Structure 1
């Protein structure tokens, strides 16, 4: 007998009529021969109402009591859903996080799942009942109620699917599936039949609001196919399968995303020596802050600038942490930049198809949109732009890569499900082992690339089109670029760091020097650097990953020249002579979590 987990969000259970509609869907799945677990969120805006109520009684509510309060929203929903199923002639039982033995750590408001006891759920399923599970909540080792943070019900659903070995986790929401971008901003956005876990991990972290990245991490770690569907459609119209396959392997870009409300901070005049990046990351980690985009420009005159972004809601906490770090390392100052948005493109095909960054930069330049900072990874290019230009920037890049057009040979839902089944069977034993520490950090590996050179272009005008000119010139000579980092501008000037293969270093330096003669700037070349990369599920959502890397490098006396981050990879540029030493130190630092 198949087993399906169905998750219904707040808008899908906002009133009695919608609750009964969701109940009928679950009963229909059971009648078709499946065992069914429903994960239910709080009704409509109930969580917001509870947050507002708490603010009326207490200016600074204790985190423990907020979790006690907010967990009640889901308890109302699961009880009503069980009643609806009984009224429709079915059998159901509602269970809280504690009753399902969802064990978490004690980080109230952002708790991580450690384990789930499946025996009680299986007993109810075997007795013919539909299990109605309260999403978003668990208990810590002291039996305190905890909540999982934003997207917590999605996380609960995929975690339960992993533990129970479900054939599918269906996420019912108010949209038809996963789109190439937000259809509320770009009318030409297109629903995809399938998208890979890696791509949606990046898109989720970059502002695509369908699912939270922590739930996708579970899907990737435990080979759970996730079907995003519209709860308002009363037929079996398919949505989007999130699984092993990209929609089109021959297309460089699969989707675009916008994070609207980003705040940018720069710690200026940081001593360019080992241990400095560590001090910053330790301060941010201690404040439980998840840095979105972090860039470190190569130093000049013994000083460097480290810039990073956080969501607006975390700006005050980030300023405090940054000032503490700046004081500790002797930096000159902490600056808060103008409000920005981050526009990004994502695609597995970027790894094998060059030119994505160049096309993106040119499209933005032609639209008169200035790029304030750049960060890249193997499957992502992100640019900070002025907040008032964010939505237009998203439309521009979506059209540039023709994401509104269906690929010529797209993978199908059936293809993705078959690939997911194959991956699950091949990795069965490893999945069982990982269930013992469900949401713990998992590192796939540490790598060192000693074949790169670093080009630095300083004091470049911070104006539209500069990045496009640089990368068009490089692409015209068929030089491949690996990492790109543009620092946040200062006094109308910015800096760009580029890594290229050592064999192309001299040619690339000559090309960039020609561009610099036209636009201004100073060019320097380090002909032998190494790129150290740490890859794994959760490297961004676990705030201590950067701290481990920089602590290991600091202890080894290795300075960091440049930083680039993504959802699944942290890369740092170091001196080429330190490659082997850096790799050994980093592997030792992550020895407990490398799979």
Structure 2
């Protein structure tokens, strides 16, 4: 008998009428011959109400007690759902995370799953019950209730689907699938019938609200097909699987993260260990650093900028203050009125010109880019919050995301069934389920590094630079833009060694046209890449990288991050030692070793 996990978010169970409607969907699936596990979130805005209550009695409520409080929201939902199913004539049993046996670490409000017991759920299913699991929660080794943080119910659902060998995981929400961008932000967004795990990982980490990145990590790691569907209609929805919608389109989606904060340390020593001293203090506070931008130094001093969620700015600044006592930066600045706009697509890795086109459409819209960070399948730019909506519209139109590609698959009509997993693998999943897994560590010696320093910071700078480079037929890899001192921009990028001289000449022409700026470069650079699932949510990955490189005496010139990759650029002669240092540092989590 096949097994389906159905997850219903807060808007899908916001009132009793909607709870009954969700109950009917579960009963229908069971009567079609499936065993059914439901994962249910707290009703509507219930969690917000509980948070508000906590803030009324305490300015700084203990994290343990917040978990105790917030977990009650899901407990209400699962009990009401079981009652609704019983009233409709079917059997159901509701279970809290602790009753299921979801074991987590002890990081309250952001706990990570360590293992899940399956025997009780399987027994209840075999007895003909619909099992209703409370999402978002678990229990640690000391029997304290824990919660999984933002998107915790999605994580619960996909994790249960993984360990139970479910045929699919259906995510019911208030939208009818995954869109090219949030349809509540841009009305001309288009629903896609299919999207790849890696694309969805990036979009989720960038603020796409349909699913949280940790749940996509589970799905990719364990091969769980996810079917995103509407709670209120029978629209086919979207499959999240290994393959993208189109092989001919370089971009599959765009996203906006409205509430970001940027922190910049100016004039820090450009030497091994500097990044380590900064980011290990931030990681110790379980803060997910996103857009890390470090430019080539001048006179032994470098600038490094990074973004964090706006609501984590204060605690991040506390960590930066600690690091500053050692690093002695010339200045520390921050801006909590910035937003990040990104485009994502597997096709970027093989189809050229994506970055240049993005910068061009933003230039034509008169939008100034404050920072740029790229990876193999993502380009992110930082803009002012006032420009964010226009920037998203510009890139969505520029890449024609509202138009269905010719090679798009037919609408989803049935769920793909994945291969049955070896029982030994299922048992392994029960141990350390959210451990870091590194897919690969690579060294690319074919790169050269170029920098345009101290050019005017105004709309169109990136477009002007990369128009000139593209006109020479040069393919660009890693791109970094950072605002330096005196509000001047620094733009760095890597390209093939064979194109170094052409790229340098093109940049000199750009600087001449601008009437200011200077060009620098390193003909022989190396790119070190660590690839895996959930690198951003595992806040210690960067620390481990920087620790390994620092211990080997290797200095980092540039840093580029994404959800699934971290790239660093070093001198070519340090590439091989850097590779060996990273392989040693990650040998315990490197797959197939």
Fold-level match, TM-score > 0.5?
yes
Q: Aligned pair 1:552/2:529, yes or no?
A: no
Give 1:446 shift: 0.7
User: Which piece of structure 1 moves more, 502-511 or 322-331?
Assistant: 322-331
Find the aligned partners of 1:507 and 1:496 in 2 and give their Cα distance: 17
SS at match of 1:270: strand
Q: What SS is found at the alignment partner of 2:228?
A: strand
Distance 1:54 1:426 in 2: 44
Match of 1:583 in 2: 579
Whether contact under 8 Å (1:244, 1:416) holds in the other structure is no
Q: What is the alpha-carbon distance in structure 2 between the residues aligned to residue 477 and residue 587 of structure 1?
A: 37
Aligned length: 590
Deviation of 1:459 after TM superposition, in Å, equals: 0.4
- Aligned residue for 1:374, secondary structure, equals strand
Q: Does 1:139 align with 2:134?
A: no
- Secondary structure at the aligned position of 1:293 is classed as coil
1:505-551 deviations in Å (ceiling 9; x for gaps):
11111111111111121101101011011000011101000000000
CA-CA distance at 1:558 after TM superposition = 0.3
Stretch moving more, 483-492 or 133-142: 483-492
Q: Which aligned pairs between 1:212-251 and structure 2 lie closer than 5 A?
A: 212-233=212-233, 235=234, 237-251=235-249
Aligned-pair CA distance for 1:415: 10
Q: Which residue is 2:266 aligned to?
A: 268
> Which whole-Å CA distance do the structure 2 matches of 1:181 and 1:145 have between them?
35
Q: Where does the alignment leave 5 or more consecutive residues of structure 2 unmatched?
A: none
In structure 2, C-alpha distance between the alignment counterparts of 1:265 and 1:525, rounded to whole Å: 26
- Paired with 2:455 and 2:180, the residues of 1 have a C-alpha distance of 33
Unaligned runs of 5+ in 1: none
Deviation per CA, 1:407-432, whole angstroms, max 9, x where unpaired?
A: 101134669955x72xx458886565
In the alignment, the residues of structure 2 paired with residue 431 and residue 138 of structure 1 have an alpha-carbon distance, to the nearest angstrom, of 20
What is the root-mean-square deviation in Å for CA atoms of aligned residues?
Answer: 1.4
* Pairwise CA distance, 1:433: 3.4
Asked if the contact 2:260/2:336 (under 8 Å) is kept, the reply is no
Quote how far apart the aligned CAs of 1:258 are.
0.2
Q: Counterpart of 1:291 in 2: which secondary structure?
A: coil
Q: Is 1:473 aligned to residue 468 of structure 2?
A: yes
Counterparts of 1:269-284 in structure 2 under 5 Å?
269-284=267-282
User: 1:258: which partner in 2?
Assistant: 256
Of the candidates 487, 494, 498, which is equivalent to residue 499 of structure 1? Answer: 494
Q: Does 1:161 pair with 2:157?
A: no
Q: Helix, strand or coil: the match of 1:532?
A: strand
Contact 2:217 2:534 in 1 (8 A): yes
Q: CA deviation at 1:368?
A: 0.3
Cross-structure match for 1:381: 379
Aligned residue for 1:214, secondary structure, equals helix
DSSP-derived class of the 1:169 partner: strand
Could you tell me which of 467, 476, 484 is aligned with 2:479? Answer: 484
- Say if 1:270 and 1:326, in contact at 8 Å, map to a contact too: no
Cross-structure match for 1:62: 62
1:537 to 533, 540, 548: 533
Matches for 1:148-547 after TM superposition, within 5 Å: 148-233=148-233, 235=234, 237-337=235-335, 339-412=337-410, 418=416, 421=418, 424=419, 433-519=428-514, 520-547=516-543
Q: Quick check: 1:567 aligned with 2:567?
A: no
> For residues 554 and 412 of structure 1, what CA distance do their matches in structure 2 show?
51
Within-5 A mapping of 1:38-53 = 38-53=38-53
Aligned to 2:18: 18
| Counterpart secondary structure, 1:99 | helix
Deviations 1:371-428 (A, max 9, x none): 000000000000001110001100000000000000101134669955x72xx45888
Q: What displacement does 1:48 show?
A: 0.7
Report deviation, 1:265. 0.6
Per-residue displacement from partner, 1:264-287 (whole Å, max 9, x unpaired)?
110111100000010011111112
1: CA distance, partners of 2:17 / 2:425: 43
Note if contact 2:163-2:429 (Cα within 8 Å) is conserved in structure 1: no
Contact 2:165 2:421 in 1 (8 A): no
Q: Runs of 4 or more off by more than 3 Å in structure 1?
A: 412-418, 424-435
